[in-house]
Amino acid sequence: MKGLIAMDETIKPAATLFVLSDSVGGTASNVFYAARAQFPDVPFEMKNFPFIRQEEQLQSILEQAKEANAIVLHTFVNPELVEIIEDFCTRESLTCFDVITPLINELTLRSDSLPTHKPGAKHKLDEKYFDRISALEFAVKYDDGKDPKGFLEADIVILGISRTSKTPLSIFLANQNYKVANLPLLPESKLPDELWLVDSSKIIGLTNEEDMLSRIRQERMRSYGMEPDTPYSDRNRIRKEIEYAEELYSKLGIQIINVASKSIEETAAIIVNSIEGTDA
């Protein structure tokens, strides 16, 4: 699950944030989502690095943060790893926020007790917690149509052409304990047989505006050091992809969500309300 991205797929992120944790990383991620909600029209990128337990692993991720000039947000309970992060960020002039240590220190003083420093101890290890871990692993395993068998086990199946937020949505919903599989759509690709066996109420079709998709894809090419004007970003090609996807959605009889003006949180809320059978 290392390096999963949660981002509105807009043109260019105003900032990149690395969430580092010795557990799931849900606490820091929730802090990020709460803060980002104050900037609804600004694109940000979050990369989540959970279950970091070794110094070598941490150092490698911090080097990536340096390259990206990222904001580092962490929830480590191991004081040695916390010190490594703080020293690195100070040395490299990276902005860093420790979400959990200041509160642990204050509780230590007031309770006259020592913390256990056990990773994950800050989470209640109940059935819901383990369900979330399972859902995150499921989302990674069945991302991008890697194994169509996952469609038959999923709570939610997300379909969409390239750059419609399938993976970020899958991870966000997994953090809410939903098992999510997603499938990228291409007119030239054969659809897996398993798709037609899934209850249509569990399938969500994503779409986007032609102009926005073209801009997003052009920027994607630039980020790879390539020319922006390619068949991938061509409006005629994108129009063909959108039409193909929407025809498929009609055949399947599924809900369609246009993500053009929606945040990940908004789209996820619509999906959850639909799946749970309530009004959006």
User: Per-residue pLDDT tens for 71-107?
Assistant: 999 988 888 999 999 999 999 999 999 988 888 888 8
Q: How many folded domains does the chain comprise?
A: 2
**Shared-domain flag, residues 226 and 164:** yes
- pLDDT < 50 stretches in the chain: 1-10, 122, 278-280
How far out from the chain centre does Cα 134 lie?
A: 15
| Residue 207 forms part of a structural domain | yes
For residue 104, the surrounding DSSP H or E stretch is helix 101-111
Query: What pLDDT score does 275 carry?
Result: 86
Q: What is the CATH number of the domain that holds 88?
A: 3.40.50
Tokens of 275: 């799946």
Query: What pLDDT score does 9 carry?
Result: 44
Residue 22, domain extent: 4-111
Query: What pLDDT score does 125 carry?
Result: 52
Query: What pLDDT score does 133 carry?
Result: 83
Query: What pLDDT score does 4 carry?
Result: 41
**Shared-domain flag, residues 77 and 211:** no
User: Helix, strand, or coil here: 66?
Assistant: helix
**Shared-domain flag, residues 84 and 202:** no
Q: In angstroms, rounded to a whole number, what is the distance separating the alpha carbons of residues 35 and 37?
A: 5
Amino acid, single-letter form, for residue 65: A
Nearby residues of 60 by Cβ (< 8 Å), 6 or more positions away = none
User: Per-residue pLDDT tens for 141-180?
Assistant: 999 999 999 999 999 999 999 989 999 899 999 988 999 9
Residue 125: beta bridge partners?
none
Do 73 and 19 form a contact (C-beta atoms < 8 A)? yes
**Shared-domain flag, residues 153 and 188:** yes
